[in-house]
Amino acid sequence: MFDAHAFRDALGTFVTGVTIVTARDEQGQPFGLTANSFNSVSLDPPMVLWSLSLQSRTLPVFRDAENWAVHVLAADQQDMSDRFAQSGEDKFAGLTALDGPEGAPLIEGCAARFGCRARFEYEGGDHAIFLGEVVDFDRREAEPLIYHCGRYGRVMQAPSAQDLERQGLAERGSGGLGLTAAGSDLLAALQALAKS
Ligand SMILES: Cc1cc2nc3c(=O)[nH]c(=O)nc-3n(C[C@H](O)[C@H](O)[C@H](O)COP(=O)(O)O)c2cc1C
């Protein structure tokens, strides 16, 4: 049907954040994995979803868990993303795995955290889709880690007219906003870079 690589590459053009989803098994052991399939679903009731590969070693844990938590990683947490993307390791080794209010392990230093009560599991081809009701959340002013075409990245805000004026790259004249000499030089340099 589809070329699998081409399909993956096309999906990878969709920019996402990076999360770590955590839960405890019945013995109380902490589990977690890196996931960018997280998405918001509903505001009222508050619900989110994410999907887990049927190949994942943590699948039985999330199937049985009554609660799980999604941690939206901050830009300085790339090493945590790598750690939780490695299957089979004791991913919590050396971390203090305290629990959040909902009872799932807490990863510190995140941009946001959503503690959830597990609600539904759906079939999604070679993934299981988990839907949870958010029972607790937390947010901190932090730049998020992003993921695009298989690589980590950072958010670059599109500059506003005020930003360009503040940086001396544009100025207001009778004809509206126009580039300054510095703005024109920068544009020419970027165009040359794009052609090279
Ligand atoms: C940025 C990133 C996003 C990922 N997103 C998902 C995901 O949404 N679902 C999934 O099942 N695996 C995802 N993975 C892969 C898992 O993190 C990886 O397979 C992990 O080793 C699974 O751990 P486990 O086998 O211990 O459950 C992602 C990996 C990376 C690096």
For residue 126, give the CATH number of its domain. 2.30.110.10
Mean pLDDT of 172-180: 92
The answer, yes or no, to whether any atom of ligand 1 lies below 6 A from the CB of 58, is: yes
Best residue for ligand 1 mutational test, from 34, 121, 130, 152 (most atoms within 8 Å of Cβ): 34
Mean of all residue pLDDT scores within the chain: 96
Are residue 147 and residue 165 in the same domain, yes or no? no
Mean pLDDT of 151-155: 96
Are residue 72 and residue 56 in the same domain, yes or no? yes
Q: Tell me the Cα Rg of the chain.
A: 21
The answer, yes or no, to whether any atom of ligand 1 lies below 6 A from the CB of 36, is: yes
Best residue for ligand 1 mutational test, from 8, 14, 21, 33 (most atoms within 8 Å of Cβ): 33
Q: What is the pLDDT of residues 55-66, one digit of tens each?
A: 999 999 999 999
Q: What is the pLDDT of residue 64?
A: 98
Q: What is the pLDDT of residue 90?
A: 87
Are residue 73 and residue 166 in the same domain, yes or no? no
| 87 Cα: distance to centroid of ligand 1 (angstroms) | 8
Are residue 23 and residue 59 in the same domain, yes or no? yes
The answer, yes or no, to whether any atom of ligand 1 lies below 6 A from the CB of 51, is: yes
Are residue 48 and residue 22 in the same domain, yes or no? yes
The domain in which residue 175 lies consists of: 159-195
Are residue 104 and residue 10 in the same domain, yes or no? yes
Mean pLDDT of 32-39: 98
Mean pLDDT of 167-187: 94
The answer, yes or no, to whether any atom of ligand 1 lies below 6 A from the CB of 129, is: no
Q: How many independent structural domains does the chain possess? A: 2
Are residue 182 and residue 90 in the same domain, yes or no? no
Are residue 127 and residue 87 in the same domain, yes or no? yes
Using CA atoms, how far residue 125 sits from 48, 51, 52, 54, 152, in Å, is 19, 10, 11, 9, 26
* 125 CB-near residues (< 8 Å, 6+ apart): none
Are residue 163 and residue 130 in the same domain, yes or no? no
In degrees, rounded to 5, the angle at the alpha carbon of residue 125 between the alpha carbons of residues 122 and 130 is 30
b (16+ CB within 10 A) / e for 61-83? bbeebebbbbbbbbbebeebbeb
Q: What is the pLDDT of residue 196?
A: 85
In degrees, rounded to 5, the angle at the alpha carbon of residue 141 between the alpha carbons of residues 138 and 143 is 115
In degrees, rounded to 5, the angle at the alpha carbon of residue 29 between the alpha carbons of residues 23 and 34 is 45
Are residue 111 and residue 172 in the same domain, yes or no? no
Whether the pTM exceeds 0.85: the reply is: yes
Are residue 79 and residue 169 in the same domain, yes or no? no
The answer, yes or no, to whether any atom of ligand 1 lies below 6 A from the CB of 33, is: yes
Q: What is the pLDDT of residue 159?
A: 87
Say yes or no to pLDDT of 96 above 90. no
User: Final residue of a domain: which of 153, 169, 185?
Assistant: 153
The answer, yes or no, to whether any atom of ligand 1 lies below 6 A from the CB of 16, is: no
User: Of 45-54, 67-76, 170-179, which range is least confident?
Assistant: 170-179
Are residue 105 and residue 176 in the same domain, yes or no? no
Mean pLDDT of 138-167: 95
